[in-house]
Amino acid sequence: MLRDMIARGLDIECGLLLILDGGTGLRKAVDDVFGSHAVVQRCQVHKLRNVLSHLNEDDKSTWQRAITACFACEDYHEAKTMAKKIHTDLQTVSIQAARSFNEGIDDMLTMARLGLHKLLGRSFRTTNIIESVNSGVARFTRHITRWTTTDQRLRWTALALMEMEHAWNKVHNFKRLPMLQRAVQKELDKRSLDQPSTRKPKKISTRKRT
């Protein structure tokens, strides 16, 4: 899918902000195809759910407040300090929860690191922006019990998207998106200075596969 997007004209040279859940397969695909041009923000909602799933019911509310406060912190360095303390304290409660929280923690704080947590974090710190679309399509198609052709699936999906479109919200502070573009480019420039040998994306063939 990612290679096909490039073959159809997606320009990645200026960098991309990608909001991902914790799926290792998708992350590997992003690394293989986009390489150092990908700036990843991990979904904070998924991370919170994963951590809480390893805790007892009596402990969940306390740790939910602590982790939410960390993710809501607008200052990157302060958020990192809070995250380190949470990880240390979690180890005394649940090793599994501590490991889950610490895995990919830098990607959890990407919007803060870019300095855009306050302006654009509301829309870009979670995968809700796409999951709301997925759930909407599922709602429109849940009564269909027999799919006959791929064309039928595409037509129903297109119809569902058209029906939902009028209710979609704009990206919060969407007029500030040029700031995101500059911040992503700055992140890429920093990477090139820190790691001159950073692997670039593979050359993507535009040949049609059969």
Residue 198, token pair as written in the block = 């950073």
- Computed over every residue of the chain, the mean pLDDT equals 89
Residue 177, token pair as written in the block = 């998106």
Domain-embedded: residue 40:
yes
Domain-embedded: residue 60:
yes
Amino acid found at 59: D
Tell me the C-alpha to C-alpha distance, in Å, between residue 3 and each of 32, 37, 69, 72: 10, 14, 37, 34
> For residue 181, what are the domain limits?
2-127+173-194
Domain-embedded: residue 201:
no
Domain-embedded: residue 157:
no
> Please, which pLDDT band fits residue 129 given cuts at 50, 70 and 90?
confident
Is pLDDT at 207 greater than 60 in this prediction?
Answer: no
When pLDDT is averaged across residues 81-91 and rounded to a whole number, the result is 96
When pLDDT is averaged across residues 92-107 and rounded to a whole number, the result is 94
Q: Give pLDDT, residue 134.
A: 87
> Please, which pLDDT band fits residue 206 given cuts at 50, 70 and 90?
low
Domain-embedded: residue 147:
no
CB atoms within 10 A of CB 126: 21
Q: Give pLDDT, residue 201.
A: 53
Q: 187 phi and psi, to 5 degrees?
A: -60, -40
What's the domain count of the chain? 1
Domain-embedded: residue 163:
no
Domain-embedded: residue 136:
no
Domain-embedded: residue 25:
yes
Three-state secondary structure along 83-97? HHHHHHHHCCCCHHH
Q: When comparing pLDDT for 132 and 124, which is higher?
A: 124
Task: Say which DSSP state 210 is in.
Answer: -
Q: When comparing pLDDT for 145 and 202, which is higher?
A: 145
Q: Give pLDDT, residue 202.
A: 54
> Please, which pLDDT band fits residue 175 given cuts at 50, 70 and 90?
very high
Is pLDDT at 203 greater than 80 in this prediction?
Answer: no
> Please, which pLDDT band fits residue 198 given cuts at 50, 70 and 90?
very low
Do residues 191 and 198 lie in contact, with contact meaning Cβ atoms separated by under 8 Å? yes
